[in-house]
Amino acid sequence: MAVQTEKVLTHNLAIGMYVSALDRPWLETDYMLEGFFIETIKDIEKLERLCQFVFIDVELTKQKIKYKSQTEASLFSKIKTIANTDIKFSTIKTIANTDIKDLTFSRKSKRQNIRKEDNQYKKTTSFTKEFRTANQLYKDITITANNLFTNAHAGKNIDILTVKRTATAVVDSVVRNPDAFLWLTRLHEKDTHSHNRSLRTSIWAIAFARYLGLEKEKMNNLSIALLLCNIGKAKLSRELLENEDKLEGEELQEYQKHVDLTLDALKIMGRTPQAIITIIRAHCERFDGSGYPMGLMENEIPFLAQVAGLVTYYEEITNRRVQENSLDPTRAVEHLYKLRDKEFMAELVEEFICSIGIYPVGSIVELNSKEIAIIVEQHSKNQLLPQVLILRDINRKPVTLYKVLDLYEINKTADKIRPKIINTYSLGTFGIDVDEITQGLKRAVIGDNKISDKAWDIKTLLKKVVS
């Protein structure tokens, strides 16, 4: 039986409708799935910005609401006059048969809305140039993170000034071009030691804060807080740390003391700004009150602590101690999406997904050509069509000739061949490891070479490598 669809103008859309097609290709948007139910007013507003009309799957829509055609006044237009906030309709059993004046909206009394700040950061350096700077900074910040954990374990004082200087340098690099540091973060993700996890989380937080347009002082505070947040774990037993993903009961309670242990260590020092303490104290709290140590919920949790908590969780699920339990970036995004208004504020999750893209920098992907590649750099106009470095040919064999493809430019100009991503994989699949990627990346971008859709001869490039 053929699917019955109907064309509907976007200003006549209603909650509960199932959008099966747009008036433009899905690849030109940042939607994760080709087809979805409209669940919030925000969904409709986004469609209004992107499209003039969409196609509705009539049968799927009827399962949610009594279908209204585009000639009828939409429920949305009535609701919009009552509230300007993002309203959830999960508690409304039937919309179509309920008069608008009888609708009871389920609002969270303490709900926060994400408001991007005025700072609009643009990339001011190329990926090629910033990678060289970021590579050295990554080594510096790794040393700083190692020293933090070592000193905490030995009960020694922590050099906050060094942490601040290193964090500020990293913030400046990420502001210039975030992709370089995100590359390095992904390449080193297999190291699960607490100090290196803090390092990677710190970088994710800066990149997200940049996307939100937060001022540099807030980025610095986030970076420093996340570098410091795990020093309390140095006081926990190795057994607790090695089994942190499956602790229960008393062991879990003992593990959760790491927040207080961190705060105690910083209190003894007495030189840590209160803004940083606030982030550390609440970064393990959760939107629904299920976090620790205080059981805060919703906007009882300071905003920067919510940011810190979200990026910390993302790092954990993509980099479990047992690698087989880790989620690849795309599955992690899908997992996070299900936690909206549960463990994390919905708007924050959605903004984070937009900031890292469906295919984050450093992700291993498969193209429709059957080639295997790694994401090099996001495209500002379409995150579904980034720049990719080909690592395996159509037979899954290592390539002898590296080439970087700009999927957006190719799709924009090509008549027939339109490469796109069809699948994602975890690091290690097809024998792809950190060393191969690191060496391949250095050979491809170090020197005067500029990333493009051209193929590069490795032997020629080796002569240009800066040692």
In the chain, domain spans: 5-102, 127-356, 364-462
Q: In terms of CATH, what superfamily is 127-356?
A: Hypothetical protein af1432 (1.10.3210.10)
The CA distance from 71 to 89, in Å, is: 23
User: Can you give the pLDDT of all 467 residues of the chain as single tens digits?
Assistant: 456 788 888 877 888 888 888 888 787 777 766 788 888 888 888 888 888 889 888 877 776 654 443 333 333 333 233 233 332 322 222 222 223 232 222 223 333 456 555 567 888 887 777 877 888 888 888 888 888 878 877 777 777 888 888 889 989 999 998 888 887 777 665 545 555 778 889 999 999 999 999 999 999 999 999 989 988 888 888 888 888 878 889 999 999 999 999 998 888 877 788 999 999 999 999 999 999 999 999 989 999 999 999 999 998 888 877 766 778 777 888 889 889 999 999 989 988 988 887 777 778 889 988 899 988 887 777 777 888 888 898 999 988 777 788 888 888 876 667 788 888 887 778 888 767 776 666 666 433 333 333 333 333 333 333 22
The CA distance from 286 to 67, in Å, is: 37
pLDDT at 218: 93
The CA distance from 17 to 63, in Å, is: 9
pLDDT at 247: 85
The CA distance from 312 to 230, in Å, is: 11
The CA distance from 228 to 145, in Å, is: 8
The CB density around residue 138, as the number of other CB atoms within 10 Å, is: 22
Residue 316 CA: distances (Å) to CA of 71, 226, 273, 336:
49, 13, 27, 12
The CA distance from 439 to 311, in Å, is: 28
Residue 238, both tokens: 């190795």
The CB density around residue 258, as the number of other CB atoms within 10 Å, is: 24
